[in-house]
Structure 1
Amino acid sequence: MTCKRPLPNGLMQRCGIDNKCLQVSKYIALVICWGVFYAVYTFAASYAASLKEVSSLCFSFEKAIPFVPFAIYFYSSSVVFFIWVFFLCNTFRQLSTLSKRIVFITVLSGICFIIFPLKQSFVRPETAHILFSFINTYDTPFNQVPSLHIGYACIFWSGVRNSRFRNLLRMWLVLLMLSTLLVYQHHFIDITTGLMAGFLTLWMFPYRKKRNQQIATVYFFVAAVGLTALLFAIEHSVLGSIFLLWGILVLLLLGRAYYRSNRHFLKDDHGCIGFLRYIFYFPYIAVYRILWLFSRQAPVEIAPNIFVGGLLSCRSARKFAMLGEVSVFDLSAELPE
C-alpha cells in the first residue's frame, strides 16, 4: 500500500509555471526552426534556379524505380512530423536539443545545396492529386544532396521515442524515406547523403551523452558512407559491391548492438565466438585485432595481485602462470580471452 502525499502549494505553482513556459517555448522553437528552414531552403533553391545549368546524379538502376502516387501521403507527412515532434518534448533540454538538431542539419544541407547544386532528373507523370499540386507549387526539383526529408526523418526517429505509438511512427518514417524515391522527388544519392547528415547531427547533439549510443551513431554514419560508396560500386564491380554490402551489414548490426548495449552480440555466455559469427563479423574482428596490436598495453597492477590490461599475449600469459593459480575475467565484447 502506497500513500501519495500532495505537493506543497509553492511547488505546484512552480511546476505549473515551468510547464506553461515549456509549452510557450515549443511554439517559439517551432517558429524559429521553420523560419530557418524556409529561409535556407528558399535561398538555395533560388540560387540553383538562377544557374544556367544544373546537373543531376542518377544511377542506371534507378530507372527501374516505379512511380507510386499513393506514396505522396507518406512524403507529405514530413510537415506533420516537423510540427508534432516539438510537442513530444517533455523537458527544456529535449526541446533545446531538438531545435539545435533541426537548425544544424538545415544550415548544413543548405551549404551543400549551394556548393553541389543538383536537380531531380525524372519527369513525374501527370496527376491531379492535390498534394502533388502542392509539391509542384511550393517544392522544387533542386536542393537534392543531402535530402532534407531523410535528414529530418532521422531526427524525427529519435524525437518520437516519447510517444506510446513510437513503433508505428517509426514504420511510417521508413515509408516516408522510401516515398522520396517513389514520388520522383529524390535520387538514391540524396537518400544516402541525407542519412549521413542525419547521423552526424544525432552524434553532435545527443539527448544524453551515453557512450554506447554515441558509438552506435558513428557506426550508422560509417554505414551510410558505405551505402554512398556502394551506389558507385554497383555501376562498376559486382564483386566489390558484394564486399561493400557485407561491410555495411556488419556496421549496421554493430551499431544496433552498441545502441542496445548488447554485450553478447558476438560472443556467447562462455566467451567464445561461434564459427558462423566469426565468418560474418570477420571484417570487424580483423580490423579490431589490427588496432589492438598497435594499442596493446602491458597489464597494470591496480591492487596486490590484481591486474588490468588488454588481451594477454603468450609471453604475458606464461609470466602470470608462473605466479600460481590465475583467474582471468574477460570484459571484452569483441575478442575471446
Structure 2
Amino acid sequence: MDRVKLGFDKLTFYKFIWLVGLAIFFFASYDFANWFTSTRRDVGSIFLEWERSIPLCSWSIVPYWSIDLMCGLAILLVWSYRTLQILCFRLLSAQIICIIFFLIFSLKFFFDRPKLDGLPGLLFDILTRFDKPFNQVLSLHIILLVILWDFYANYLRGGWRCIVHILCLLIGLSVLTTWHHHFCDISTGLWVGCFCIWLWPDDGLSPLKNCQLPKQYVWSSLYFLLFLLLFSIAIYFSSWALWLLWFSGAFLLVSVNYLLFGAVGFQKQANGHFNLAVTILYLPYFIIMWINSRLWTFKNNPVDLICDNVYLGRIPSNNTLHTNHFTSIVDLCAELPITQFNGNYHSIPVLDMTPLTIEQCQQTAKIIEKYHQQGKLLVCCALGYSRSATAIIAWLLLTKRVSNLDEAITKVKVCRPNIVITTKQQLILTECFF
C-alpha cells in the first residue's frame, strides 16, 4: 500500500496518530520505569575501569538531544504506509524491550556529573528532570539511533547522507561523553537495535509473520545450551566477559530459527548477501560457520564437476569464481553470504544439517535444469556435502539422467566422495520422484 493507493491526506493522518501515540507511550512508560527503579534499594552498576578516564564534554549534550528531533522527523518523512508501519513497529518494539529490561535488570549510572553552566548546563538540567541516572541496560538512546540511522541511510543521498552519518556518530559518542551511559549499555543497545530491524525487515517478511515451524528440536536445543553457557559465563565473570553476550545472543537467535522461523530467520537477501543489522546480530555465528566450512573442506576441491556443466561445491570465494568463470549459481546455504557475483544467481536457503523438503527438491531440480543450459553452473552450500548434493541428486532424478536413487548418489559420490545424504533425505527424495 503506497502513497498513491492510500492518499496523501490519509497517510498524513496515520503519521500524526503514530507520532502522538508513540510519544505518549514513550514518556508514560519511561517515566514509570524511572520511578519504579528509583524506589528500589538494590540497584547497582556495571562499568569497566577504563571508563573513569572518559571526559565529560558539555557540548555533546546537543547531539544527545538531537535524537528526539530525528525520531519525530523520520515519522514525518516516510513515503508510504508500509514504510511508516515498519519504522513505527521498530520504534515500538525498541521501547517495549527496553522497558522490560529496565524493570527486570535495573541499573544506574555510577559517576556523579558536576554542575554545568550556560546553555549546556540548561540542557543537562532539562534532561535530568526527565531522564534520571537509572535504566542503563539497555541504552534506549543507542537502540533508537541504530533504527533511525538505518532509516536515514536509506532515505537520504549525497551530502545529506554524509551529514547524517557524522551526526549519528556524534550521538553514539555522546551517550558516553555526557556521562549518561556505560559502555555495556552501548554494546547491548546496538545489538537490540539491530534485533528490532531484523524483527521488522524492509521487505516486510518479518519472521513473526512467516513462521516456518521447522521443529528441529535437537539442533535448537544444542544452540540453546550454547546460549545458556555463554550467557552464564558472561554474567558470572562480568567485565570483558560481557562481550560473550553478543555470542550468546547470536546462538539464541539460531536456536529460535531451528525451532520456529526456519531459514527465513537468517533473512538472506535475493542477491545472497545480508543487510548490516542482520550481519551484526549473527556475526559471531557467521564467522564460526565460515571457519567450519573451510576446515571441513580444507583437503578437498572447492568445486567438483558432476556432469553437463553442473558443478558441486562449497560457498565460493572470489578466487574460485575468478578461476572457474561460472555463469550461474544455485545457493542452498542459509547461514553464509555469497561473494559478489554478476551472473545468474538463485538462492533457496535451507538450514544447516536439515533435509530439503519435497518442494525444495523439485524447485532446485528445475532451476538447475534451467541454468545449466546457459553455461557453467555451481550448486553450493556451506560445505558442498549435503544440501547442494541433494539438490543435484534431485536434478539427476528429475531429468532421468539416472534410473534410481542409489545410482544418483553413487554418481555424485564418485565426483565428490565426502557427500552425506541422510536416510531421512533419501526417503524424501524417494517420495518426491518415485
TM-score range normalised by the length of the shorter chain: 0.5 to 0.7
Query: 1:11 maps to what in 2?
Result: none
Deviation at 1:35, TM superposition (A): 1.1
Deviation at 1:193, TM superposition (A): 1.1
Within 5 A, what are the aligned runs for 1:5-24? 15=4, 18-24=7-13
Query: 1:65 maps to what in 2?
Result: 54
Deviation at 1:173, TM superposition (A): 1.1
Is 2:173 the partner of 1:178? yes
Query: 1:201 maps to what in 2?
Result: 196
Is 2:147 the partner of 1:155? yes
Identity score, percent: 26
Q: For residues 113 and 233 of structure 1, do their structure 2 counterparts lie closer, same or farther at Cα, with a shift above 3 Å needed?
A: closer
Q: Supply the distance in 2 between the matched residues of 1:117 and 1:42 (Cα, whole angstroms).
A: 14
Unaligned runs of 5+ in 2: 207-226, 248-267, 277-314, 325-335, 338-351, 353-379, 403-407, 419-434
Query: 2:414 maps to what in 1?
Result: 315
Task: Give the letter for the 2:107 counterpart.
Answer: L
Q: Supply the distance in 2 between the matched residues of 1:168 and 1:181 (Cα, whole angstroms).
A: 21
Query: 1:134 maps to what in 2?
Result: 126
Task: Give the letter for the 2:318 counterpart.
Answer: K
Q: For residues 210 and 295 of structure 1, do their structure 2 counterparts lie closer, same or farther at Cα, with a shift above 3 Å needed?
A: same
Contact (CA 8 Å) 2:44, 2:106: kept in 1 or not? yes
Query: 2:65 maps to what in 1?
Result: 76
* Higher relative contact order structure (alpha carbons within 8 Å, sequence separation ≥ 6): 1
Q: Supply the distance in 1 between the matched residues of 2:388 and 2:417 (Cα, whole angstroms).
A: 17
- Count of equivalent residues: 264
Query: 2:322 maps to what in 1?
Result: 270
Deviation at 1:93, TM superposition (A): 0.5
Query: 2:424 maps to what in 1?
Result: none
Task: Give the letter for the 1:88 counterpart.
Answer: L
Q: 2:108 aligns with which of 119, 131, 134?
A: 119
Q: Supply the distance in 1 between the matched residues of 2:273 and 2:5 (Cα, whole angstroms).
A: 40
Structure showing the higher strand proportion among its residues: 2
3-state DSSP of counterpart to 2:44: coil
Task: Give the letter for the 2:12 counterpart.
Answer: Q
Deviation at 1:206, TM superposition (A): 1.1
Q: Supply the distance in 1 between the matched residues of 2:187 and 2:13 (Cα, whole angstroms).
A: 36
Q: Supply the distance in 2 between the matched residues of 1:315 and 1:79 (Cα, whole angstroms).
A: 63
Is 2:135 the partner of 1:146? no
Q: Supply the distance in 1 between the matched residues of 2:382 and 2:54 (Cα, whole angstroms).
A: 41
Task: Give the letter for the 1:36 counterpart.
Answer: F
Within 5 A, what are the aligned runs for 1:210-289? 235=240, 258-259=274-275, 266-268=317-319, 269-270=321-322
Unaligned runs of 5+ in 1: 1-13, 212-221, 245-253, 273-283, 320-337
- TM-score scaled by length of structure 2: 0.52
- TM-score scaled by length of structure 1: 0.66
Q: Which moved more, 1:83-92 or 1:134-143?
A: 134-143
Query: 1:9 maps to what in 2?
Result: none
Q: For residues 199 and 313 of structure 1, do their structure 2 counterparts lie closer, same or farther at Cα, with a shift above 3 Å needed?
A: farther
Contact (CA 8 Å) 1:71, 1:179: kept in 2 or not? yes
3-state DSSP of counterpart to 1:142: coil
| Offset from partner CA, 1:225-271 (integer Å, 9 cap, x none) | 99x969x686479xx99xx9xxxxxxxxx9996338xxx99423415
